[in-house]
A = this chain, B = another copy of it.
């Protein structure tokens, strides 16, 4: 069955969105629709232009025998800024205030639309770098890791603080929990991360940075390389953090349990 241009445009679009950061040959589409490569090429030109105009991302053409097209999801700077501002305002809601000056985040990290946007935002920053795997720590970092992993088309691994028989052999490290001054242990299944991987660390919340520092030492134990660290929100912290090189989407500047106010502003993410 032969497909008309209009149908091809719909299906190619959904296919590209389903497989971001994946090289797809023109022959593949040509076979899929029983259409000439020249027609597919024209389809892709239309899609490419629309993706740019609507801020969906970039459609990269790789020429040559092993070539094809590659969809790179991006989020425009302006949209990024607006999104982070909206998040900051949602987080500043006094109803989020928890005893001990903590901020309730779990509802946000269970909203799939928000997570997709966070994933697209973070993946935009690393779209042109080689990242092999996303690493996070259980539990609330997982949704963020999954969202970023989808847009970069790479797997994610979950570091755990509790030992599980379903993980097989693990590699563990001890780390100092910066905010509570305790020595804790975290571990990662040995088979989950190949040696020599380039790793992007994401997490939901950072105070002293001890957890992220733990992940950084785990990455070393796996003879792998840290590409970057992004946290959803960082808290104001008295003293020196255990890690310095990271970016945050949001900065919880001040939490006043007496007046019951939370002040959240954009983090360092957009400042580079």
Q: Which residues from B are CB-within-8-Å of A155?
A: 107, 110-112
Q: Do A166 and B98 touch (CB < 8 A)?
A: yes
Say yes or no: is A51 at the interface (Cβ < 8 Å to chain B). Answer: yes
Copy number of this protein in the oligomer? Answer: 2
Report how many residues on chain A are interfacial, defined by Cβ distance under 8 Å. 59
Q: Are A165 and B7 in contact (CB under 8 A)?
A: no
Which of B53, B105, B167 has a CB less than 8 Å from the CB of A106? B167
Task: Kindly supply a per-residue 1/0 record for chain A positions 86-124, scoring 1 wherever the CB is within 8 Å of any chain B CB and 0 otherwise.
Answer: 000000000000111011111100111101100000000
A116 CB to nearest B CB, Å: 7
A18 within 8 A of B: yes
Among residues of B, the one whose C-beta sits closest to the C-beta of A104 is: B168
Give the residues from 1 to 30 in chain A that come closer than 8 angstroms, CB to CB, to chain B.
Answer: 5-7, 9-11, 13-14, 17-19
Closest 5 CB pairs of A and B: A112-B150, A138-B139, A10-B50, A13-B13, A142-B142
What is A's interface to B at a CB cutoff of 8 Å?
A: 5-7, 9-11, 13-14, 17-19, 46-47, 49-51, 53-54, 56, 98-100, 102-107, 110-113, 115-116, 138-140, 142-143, 146-147, 149-150, 153-158, 160, 162, 165-168, 189, 191-192, 205
6 contacts between A and B (CB under 8 A): A6-B9, A7-B50, A11-B50, A11-B54, A17-B17, A107-B191
